[in-house]
Amino acid sequence: MPGISVIVCTYNPVEEIFSRCLDSITVANQLHAAKEIVIVDNNSSTSLLEKEYIRQFLQLNNNAKLLREEKQGLTPARIRGIKESTGSILVFVDDDNFIKNNFFQCAEAIAQNNPHIGAWSGQVHLIFEQEPEAWTKKYWGMFVYREFDENRWSNFPHMPETMPCGAGLFVRRNVAEYYVSLNDQGKRNIQLDRSGKSLSSGGDNDLAACACDIGLGVGLFHELSLDHYIPKNRLSKEYLLSLAEGISASAIVFRSFRNEFPKQLSFKNKIANTIRLLLKNKIDKQFYKAVLKGEATGRKIVFNQILQNEFDQEKN
């Protein structure tokens, strides 16, 4: 049976929410034990070991351990978790995720029945601190909201219909180690993951896409399920606009990692974007502008990196 390493990266977690996350892991672990549970404290202002609920979790789960990663950012925290874990299957659970009781059992069955799949995730249901306004629903996808009833997979890293999400992302050990090697070799000088207040994202997509890089597939499986808690401050229009901008910028960078480099917008493209803006309502217009701004930022980041690489090559 493949052993599952559960990796939970967190930074200054809200006790009420993180304790629910850990409670859900405890129940799943009691019903079908993981090989290990690795909590990575990403340099929180107060050490998590000082928190009573963390100590209780470690006492309840004798296969759990707590690490502290001083380098700020989800990417170094994730890499630390990978390097410190030993399971043949790794799953990344966010500190605001509440997994279902059969989470580990389902994952092991998927791993055994689908040896061609290197990265996968499942359904993500949203739990809101307060009832969201109706207009926000079309943007819930940015919270990786996913509900579906059929399994699907592909070996294409840029296909949204089959790309796993970071909430409850499972990867095989060889996929994770390949991802770590890319970072250790300096092939990921642009960080896609969040750090501090940054809303950049995409590191989870990059990790999942590594499955395709080494000849495996990616997929979504409906029997896997978790809840994602959304606090009320993340439903403000200002936050959602910033999130849309960050995701759009990261998407451009993510594609460049696999040789899909952006092009400068032509005059024709600019005219088309202007027409699309005119046809949208007030709120959609604001989000479309945020997406365009993010894409422009992403192109700038990629072009600057290309220039830096050329400079470094000439220097050497």
| Strand partners of residue 211 | none
**Segment of 21-30, 187-196, 305-314 carrying the highest mean pLDDT:** 21-30
Domain ranges for the chain: 4-232, 252-315
Tens digit of pLDDT for each residue in 116-149? 999 999 999 999 999 999 999 999 999 999 999 9
Q: What is the mean pLDDT of the chain?
A: 93
Spatial CA neighbour of 211 closest among 253, 163, 251, 247: 163
Contacts of 146 (CB under 8 A, 6+ apart): 122, 123, 124, 165, 220
Lowest mean pLDDT: which of 105-109, 196-200, 244-248, 251-255? 196-200
| Strand partners of residue 37 | 6, 64
Residue 306 pLDDT level (bands cut at 50, 70, 90): confident
How large is the average pLDDT for residues 50-61? 96
Is residue 127 classed as helix, strand or coil in its secondary structure? strand
CATH code, 4-232: 3.90.550.10
Q: Is 174 exposed, middle or buried (0-12, 13-18, 19+ CB in 10 A)?
A: middle
pLDDT of the residue at 122: 98
Tens digit of pLDDT for each residue in 176-231? 999 999 999 988 877 777 766 667 788 999 999 999 999 999 999 999 999 999 99
Residue 292 pLDDT level (bands cut at 50, 70, 90): very high
End-to-end CA distance of the chain: 48
| pLDDT exceeds cutoff 90 at 155 | yes
pLDDT of the residue at 1: 44
